[in-house]
Amino acid sequence: MPESATNILCNHQDAEECVNDYYLGVWNAIPPKRPNSLLAFVCRFVRNISINRYEYNSAQKRKGVYDVCLDELQECISSDETVESEYNANELSRLIDEYLDTLDNTNRMVFVRRYWYIDSFEDISSMSGLSEGAVRTRLSRLRSNLKEFLQSRGVIV
Amino acid sequence: MKRKLLMNAIGGISDSHIGEFAEVKPQKKGAVVWMLFVSVAACLALLLISISVINNYVNTPEGSVSAIPYVKINDMVYIIDSNYPNTTTNELSDEYIVIGKVERNPSSNKSQEKDNGDAIGCKVGDEIFQSPDLPNEIYVYTTLFSSSGEYRYVRFICKE
């Protein structure tokens, strides 16, 4: 579980602290929350706490994997394009779910591990059995397809 | 801001997509390629074996032998009629007489010279019948291809 925290924060100590924050947060959240999937709830909790900590530690000079992932996603929405204002994050999440459902198992794994779990190319390569170059190529193609998908849904103009 | 919006949107994907890949075990590099090779090789092997088995049994009667049954008698080689079992009979007409018996079951080596009395598929001692009017065919009283071990007259023809 600290894996995604370490990926985002690039610092094992910070990641360990996030996990401690997570345990406390889950203790306080359940109940009243009753998540359908405890695993997903746990992963989501750690991720969000890690991102918040990362943004708090914005004095970092070295780009972590999280920053690189953000830069990669920049390709999906170029500077002269706008995101329709009526789309909020929840609706976009639903559309991305829809997009993920169109992918085969390997591509979906590569996308989710990169942009949700913030894994490095090397880690995704070892998980998928693909070479790092193949992972990069696939991600580039997936981002391009995501852009087309969002354009076809009228999200990006 | 836009990229953060997209990243946040990705963060909100469904639990099923998150949980699906929460614990992914590392695969050995090249494992996928090896698996593909092994799968293709296995399919090819299965295909070759199937072709061999089917080929061996197509037009081959029940209880097949490893080589095409033949009999050599009176310096002529007779091979089993391809219309088997339609040409098998339990009785022969009176003009058919015994012209010899199977004397040996040599190996099925095609390059080996055949001698009179050699036969593949028929047992040593099986009687060979022929009609004087039909020198290009013989009947052997044999259990060849009989699943029940029943004796009947099996037709062999000479292609020469």
Domain boundary assignment for chain B: 2-59, 70-158
What is the per-residue pLDDT for A106?
92
pLDDT tens column, A81-114: 555 544 577 888 899 999 999 999 999 999 999 9
What is the per-residue pLDDT for B87?
78
* Interface residue A130 vs chain B (CB under 8 A): yes
- Mark out chain B residues that contact chain A at CB-CB < 8 A: 2-22, 24-32
What architecture (CATH level 2) is domain A62-157?
Orthogonal Bundle (1.10)
Residue of B2, B17, B26 lying closest to A83 (CB–CB): B2
Chain A residues in contact with B16 by the CB 8 A cut-off are: 37, 40
**Cβ separation A51–B11 shorter than 8 A:** yes
What is the per-residue pLDDT for B68?
84
Q: Order the strands of the B119-120 sheet from edge to edge.
A: B97-101, B127-130, B137-142, B152-157, B76-80, B70-73, B119-120
pLDDT tens per residue across all 157 residues of chain A: 567 777 877 777 777 777 777 777 777 777 676 777 888 888 887 888 888 777 777 655 556 778 888 888 877 765 555 555 445 778 888 999 999 999 999 999 999 999 999 999 999 999 998 999 999 999 999 999 998 998 898 876 5
User: How many CB pairs (< 8 A) connect A and B?
Assistant: 106
Lowest mean pLDDT segment, chosen from A121-135, B2-16, B69-83: B2-16
What is the per-residue pLDDT for B107?
73
What is the per-residue pLDDT for B63?
46
**Taking Cα atoms as reference points, which of B58, B64, B75 lies closest to residue B118?**
B75
Whether pLDDT at B58 is above 60: no
Whether pLDDT at B102 is above 60: yes
Whether pLDDT at B59 is above 60: no
Chain A residues in contact with B37 by the CB 8 A cut-off are: none
What is the per-residue pLDDT for A37?
81
What is the per-residue pLDDT for A2?
60
> Given pLDDT bands bounded at 50, 70 and 90, which one contains residue B34?
confident
Higher pLDDT, A5 or B129: B129
- Distance between CA atoms of residues A146 and A140, nearest Å: 10
Chain A residues in contact with B29 by the CB 8 A cut-off are: 125-126, 129, 131
**Cβ separation B29–A126 shorter than 8 A:** yes
| Statement: the pTM of the whole predicted model exceeds 0.80 | no
What is the per-residue pLDDT for A82?
56
Where along chain A do its domains lie? 1-61, 62-157
Whether pLDDT at B1 is above 80: no
> Given pLDDT bands bounded at 50, 70 and 90, which one contains residue B12?
confident
- Distance between CA atoms of residues B155 and A118, nearest Å: 78
CA distances (Å), origin A25, targets A22, B85, B93: 5, 83, 101
What is the per-residue pLDDT for B128?
95
